[in-house]
Chain A
Amino acid sequence: MAVNPFDVRGLPGTASAPPSAGDYLTDRVFRYMAAGAGIVVILLVIYILYEIGGQAMPAIGKYGFGFLTTAVWDVSAARFGILGEIWGTLYSSLLALAIAGVFGVAMAIFLTQDFLHARLARVFRTIVEMLAAIPSVVYGLWGIYVVIPAIRPAANWLHDALGFIPFFGTSLSGPGMAPAVIVLSIMVLPTVAAISQDALQLVPYKVKEAAYGMGTTKWEAILKVLLPTASGGIFGALVLGFGRALGETMALAMLIGNSNNISLSLFAPANTLASLLASNFPEAAQIEVEALMYAAMALLAITFVVNVAGTAIMMLTSKQEVN
């Protein structure tokens, strides 16, 4: 009788053996479970959209599009509108992004372009990472007791001297846009710096050498060769940083003053969508909860668009680098 010479089952001293029927079964079950975990993420996103959308439906029907274009929040009269919050969200995030963009990209250049001994660079990199690790409420507390007292004299001097400029149109009495933007920019900085660093590190070293070979100074190479080459990734970093700023909640709820107020002034209190949710939701009655769900839906839509754009930009640019 012919014996299959490759059938090693039962032979002593062999390390390898074909899988048994049980092995095949567990293999199949495990693979389905893993695919299931992937599907959970997709279902989670769909379910988030469904739940928040479903809860917002009554308010969407009741207040319609006007909810987004009026700036009232009157629970007793059941009149709600979030134009003030949309303005505050975009205004604070754009200002914070402007600061964090300059600082974050500069920091990324500083850390990747051999300005420092490797050990010192690691110290600064740890500092940036620790900035990201500090919880939002702690930044809020710090903002209340450090940032606001620190900037109040300067803010009020600016208001007295240059009050005719709309940006300085009011005095800073306590919470307001300026301290919120300062703290927000600190919180966004690590995101921008980290992603920009990755983008700069993806630029091949020979590109920089080529620039040096042409006789550029270090900074000419950085500004004219490196930054344009890495511009896709840096742009993605800014978009993702903007997304972070839009959704940031606790520090803003503690610092921005929660006042339904549309103003260009940096020193006036304002409100954002996220901090409206944080400060009104816990004590809201049914009718206000519906309106807040509509506001949550608006925040979800804005951040979703920004994050999808940022993620797509990052994926496209990293694909370019490979080709």
Chain B
Amino acid sequence: MARVTSFQPAPAIPDLRRSISDRRAIWNMILTVGVWIVAILASIPLFSVLYMLISRGGARFSLDLFTQLPPAGFMPGGGFGNAIVGTLVMVLIASLISVPLGILGGVFLGVLSPDSKLAAVTRFLAKTLTGFPSILAGVFVYAWLVLAMRTYSAIAGGVALAVLMLPTIILTAEQAVRMVPQRMKDAAYGMGCTQTQTIWKVVLPTGLPGILTGVMLAIAGAAGESAPLLFTALFSNFWISSLREPTASLSILIYNFSGMPFENQIQLAWAASLVLVLIVLVFNILSRIVGRPRV
């Protein structure tokens, strides 16, 4: 019979109560406070921008802004009606090009042949293009269209914006059509639909909220863009009369007026910023409304 010579003392039961003075608890608290400070610091710029837009841009807000042309050097008053129209026209041209193309591309990537080599290359290049510097879209369209047409134009500006919108629309449309459940597509095929009929009658209507979200986000981004317009649409002090002439835009107006030594122009730059941010926000909010899942 084995004799127990000595008992091992039971290991001390760890103190499981949370102690504030514990080094680990203190670190935990410091880091939590730190991350709160980071979050608040990161929010400051947004509120500062919004405050400046409302206080400085709002001070100048009147109907004249929308109906008058930009003033010259020392002139008082004026507005930027032509720039608002120009921005909207160019965004419209860009949408007409990139939305149909982008949705078709998204359908190709998401439904028709998601696993083909062509789809893999297209997807990869579209992802790379989302990080494409916007100014290079301007350089590209300058080299292609501006030199060929021998003039800066709204068309060139619209094409440059379309280059930037296309990858966003393709990738979001792909995600949206992928979300459509396979059983819905199978049901359509079972009824004797061709792939095209399935896409038009089942996939696109079902994926529409997601597709529209992407479209609205792309439009919001394009409306705020300025670098691609600098030397494709240039600027104009007059109302737009044709698509083949230099065209004003809000963002270029802000850029031009921001460096001017005249108080009137600087005020107009702030007011134009307010209008531009409002336009961008409207499309951002629209993207949220249309993208909300319907029950």
The reply on B182 being an interface residue by CB < 8 A is: no
Asked whether B105 lies within 8 Å of A40 as measured between CB atoms, the reply is yes
The reply on A202 being an interface residue by CB < 8 A is: no
Judged by DSSP, the binding face of A is helix
* Chain A proximity mask over B1-27: 1 for CB below 8 Å, otherwise 0: 000000000000000000000001101
When C-beta atoms are compared, the residue in chain B nearest to A142 turns out to be B49
| Residues of chain B contacted by A296 (CB below 8 angstroms) | 135-136, 139
When C-beta atoms are compared, the residue in chain B nearest to A279 turns out to be B230
Asked whether B122 lies within 8 Å of A38 as measured between CB atoms, the reply is yes
CA of A73 to CA of B243, assembled, Å: 35
| Residues of chain A contacted by B129 (CB below 8 angstroms) | 41, 44-45
| Residues of chain B contacted by A16 (CB below 8 angstroms) | 190-192
The reply on B52 being an interface residue by CB < 8 A is: yes
| Residues of chain A contacted by B127 (CB below 8 angstroms) | 311, 314
For residue B29, give the distance in angstroms from its CB to the closest CB of chain A: 9
The reply on B262 being an interface residue by CB < 8 A is: no
* Chain B proximity mask over A278-320: 1 for CB below 8 Å, otherwise 0: 1001100000000011001001100110111011001100000
* Chain B proximity mask over A232-271: 1 for CB below 8 Å, otherwise 0: 0000000010011011111001100000000000000000
Partner of B276, one of A15, A135, A219, A307: A135
Asked whether B133 lies within 8 Å of A247 as measured between CB atoms, the reply is yes
The reply on A227 being an interface residue by CB < 8 A is: no
Partner of B136, one of A52, A144, A250: A52
When C-beta atoms are compared, the residue in chain A nearest to B121 turns out to be A42
Assuming the contacts A27-B196, A138-B277, asked whether A41 and B105 have C-beta atoms less than 8 A apart, the reply is: yes
Partner of A26, one of B122, B163, B196, B270: B196
The reply on B193 being an interface residue by CB < 8 A is: yes
CA of A308 to CA of B136, assembled, Å: 16
For residue A59, give the distance in angstroms from its CB to the closest CB of chain B: 13
Assuming the contacts A27-B197, A44-B163, asked whether A247 and B135 have C-beta atoms less than 8 A apart, the reply is: yes
| Residues of chain A contacted by B196 (CB below 8 angstroms) | 23, 26-27, 30-31
* Chain A proximity mask over B125-137: 1 for CB below 8 Å, otherwise 0: 1111101111110
CA of A27 to CA of B198, assembled, Å: 10
When C-beta atoms are compared, the residue in chain B nearest to A307 turns out to be B131
CA of A42 to CA of B126, assembled, Å: 8
- Tell me which of A60-68, A106-114, A152-160, A162-170 binds B: A106-114
| Residues of chain B contacted by A52 (CB below 8 angstroms) | 136, 139-140, 143
CA of A15 to CA of B108, assembled, Å: 28
Partner of B132, one of A35, A40, A139, A307: A307
Asked whether A249 lies within 8 Å of B135 as measured between CB atoms, the reply is yes
Assuming the contacts A52-B139, A296-B139, asked whether A311 and B230 have C-beta atoms less than 8 A apart, the reply is: no
For residue B66, give the distance in angstroms from its CB to the closest CB of chain A: 19
The reply on B53 being an interface residue by CB < 8 A is: yes
The reply on A34 being an interface residue by CB < 8 A is: yes
Interface residues of B in 208-245 (CB under 8 A from A): 220, 223-227, 230-231, 234
| Residues of chain B contacted by A124 (CB below 8 angstroms) | 39, 43
Partner of A41, one of B126, B194, B220, B259: B126
Judged by DSSP, the binding face of B is helix
For residue A148, give the distance in angstroms from its CB to the closest CB of chain B: 12
When C-beta atoms are compared, the residue in chain B nearest to A145 turns out to be B52
Kindly name the residue among B28, B46, B227, B251 whose own CB sees the greatest number of chain A CB atoms within 10 A. B227
CA of A37 to CA of B49, assembled, Å: 39
CA of A141 to CA of B251, assembled, Å: 11
The reply on B124 being an interface residue by CB < 8 A is: yes
When C-beta atoms are compared, the residue in chain B nearest to A300 turns out to be B136
Asked whether A282 lies within 8 Å of B234 as measured between CB atoms, the reply is yes
Assuming the contacts A139-B49, A141-B269, A254-B255, asked whether A37 and B36 have C-beta atoms less than 8 A apart, the reply is: no
The reply on B118 being an interface residue by CB < 8 A is: yes
| Residues of chain B contacted by A141 (CB below 8 angstroms) | 254, 258, 269-270, 273
The reply on A12 being an interface residue by CB < 8 A is: no
Asked whether A15 lies within 8 Å of B39 as measured between CB atoms, the reply is no
Asked whether B107 lies within 8 Å of A34 as measured between CB atoms, the reply is yes
Asked whether A54 lies within 8 Å of B143 as measured between CB atoms, the reply is yes
* Chain A proximity mask over B23-42: 1 for CB below 8 Å, otherwise 0: 01101100110111011011
The reply on B195 being an interface residue by CB < 8 A is: yes
| Residues of chain A contacted by B28 (CB below 8 angstroms) | 217-220
Asked whether B135 lies within 8 Å of A274 as measured between CB atoms, the reply is yes
Asked whether A144 lies within 8 Å of B128 as measured between CB atoms, the reply is no
Partner of B167, one of A41, A137, A219: A41
Asked whether B118 lies within 8 Å of A35 as measured between CB atoms, the reply is yes
The reply on B84 being an interface residue by CB < 8 A is: no
CA of A303 to CA of B281, assembled, Å: 28
| Residues of chain A contacted by B251 (CB below 8 angstroms) | 135-137, 250
Asked whether A131 lies within 8 Å of B46 as measured between CB atoms, the reply is yes
Please report B residues at the A interface, Cβ cutoff 8 Å. 24-25, 27-28, 31-32, 34-36, 38-39, 41-43, 45-46, 48-49, 52-53, 56, 101-102, 104-105, 107-109, 112-113, 118-119, 121-122, 124-129, 131-136, 138-140, 142-144, 163, 166-167, 170, 190-197, 199, 220, 223-227, 230-231, 234, 251, 254-255, 258-259, 266, 269-270, 273, 276-277, 280-281, 284
A/B interface sample: 8 pairs, CB < 8 A: A40-B105, A44-B129, A48-B163, A115-B36, A136-B224, A136-B227, A138-B277, A141-B258
Please report A residues at the B interface, Cβ cutoff 8 Å. 15-19, 23-24, 26-27, 30-31, 33-42, 44-45, 47-48, 51-52, 54-55, 102-103, 106-107, 109-110, 115, 124, 127-131, 133-142, 144-146, 186, 189, 217-220, 240, 243-244, 246-250, 253-254, 274, 277-278, 281-282, 292-293, 296, 299-300, 303-304, 306-308, 310-311, 314-315
